[in-house]
Amino acid sequence: MKPEPRIKNSETRTLLRCFSYLRPHWKLTTGAYATMLVIDGINMLNPQLLRWTIDNGIGGDPADTQRTRMLALAVGALLLLVLIKGVLTYFQGMWTEIASQSVAYDLRNELQRKITLLSFSFHDKAEAGDLLSRAIQDVERIRFLTGRAAFRIIEGALLLLLTAGVMISMNPRLGLLAAASLPILAYQSLRFGRVFRPLSAQIQKQLSVLTTRVEQNLRGTRVIKTFAQQEAEMERFEVENRQWFDLSAQAARLQAVFMPLLHLLANISSVVILWYGGTLVINGQLTLGELVAFTTYMGQLVSPVRFFGMILPAVSMATASA
């Protein structure tokens, strides 16, 4: 029972070290996260504008001659927010990608410097295919983790908290009912991560073995042909390739079961909210605009949790790469 915390602490330290490569690029990172805050604010405002448009513009008093004008103003405001969000999303994606590509650039340079300075004894024991896998594929996965993956996780967590707070403040009963599905979705995501993480580490290790086998065969082609070992090398390669295929197929089966289950739970929650909210509208306890706002918020509430389920495999692979 004692080794497990040490393993987790080691993984945490390794990941923190990877994120430390973002430090020289803090301006780009700060800019990306600042745009994230503004975009999340727009996401909170959009459903409220929809609510106001439906209750006061479309569903307002028929005798009110200002309804058309209010509707036009609301639609114009929505369009303006969409344009602002689009521009900010462009800069957000560009800054995040440049920062993460800079991390990969620095990591590859440091790897090359380290490999060059290592002793002859290390290079006698090390496999070139394993080093190639680390320098190319593993660095790429760390780049994704320090860039879009980490950004989406933080953005999703913030959007989750803001959306849940707004929904509960609008209608406590309906808001709490919507939030009740989150622990189940979060549990399923974490459960999937616990199963997938060790499997992704095995896939990474086996890919290194496979890359090494290819590199050795290419480098020793003359020797293999001289001693007529083509069939034996093909059989050895097929064994390693089959093992990698089986591990990858197992990972695909896990995702094929998990993702539809997560979508099913999210859709059931949305249907329950629509049914209960509809009864409140019929009984005059909720306006139609508030129900539309609630269903919009519900999509924002469930979306980050579903995204966590999609991003966890990438995080698990990046952890193994790190």
- CA-nearest of 111, 118, 162 to 138 is 111
State the Cα–Cα distance between residues 60 and 159, nearest whole angstrom. Answer: 31
Tell me if the pTM is above 0.75: no
Which ranges of 53-119 does DSSP label H, i.e. alpha helix? 67-117
Give the pLDDT confidence of 38-64 residue by residue, as tens digits.
Answer: 999 999 999 888 888 888 777 656 555
pLDDT in tens, 239-250: 888 888 888 898
- The predicted-structure confidence for 198-213, as pLDDT tens digits, reads as follows 787 788 778 777 777 7
CA distances from 133 to 73, 93, 100, 120, 313 (A): 56, 27, 19, 20, 19
Contact 273, 174 (CB under 8 A): yes
pLDDT less than 50: residues of the chain: 1-5, 7
At residue 235, the pLDDT reads 82
CA 213 centroid distance within chain: 32
The residues, any chain, with a CB within 8 Å of residue 40's CB and separated by 6 or more, are 155, 158, 159, 162
Cβ proximity of 161 and 44 under 8 Å? no
In the structure encoding, which two tokens stand for residue 44, read together?
A: 């909170």
State the Cα–Cα distance between residues 238 and 98, nearest whole angstrom: 39
For residues 306 and 266, the answer to whether their CB atoms sit within 8 Å is yes
- 132: closest CA among 140, 124, 120? 140
Contact between 205 and 183 (Cβ < 8 Å): no
pLDDT for the residue numbered 9: 62
CA dihedral sign, ordered 249, 253, 258, 264: positive
Determine contact, residues 16/97, Cβ cutoff 8 Å: no
Give the angle subtended at the CA of 79 by the CAs of 73 and 83, to the nearest 5°: 145
How far is it, in rounded angstroms, from Cα 296 to Cα 304? 14
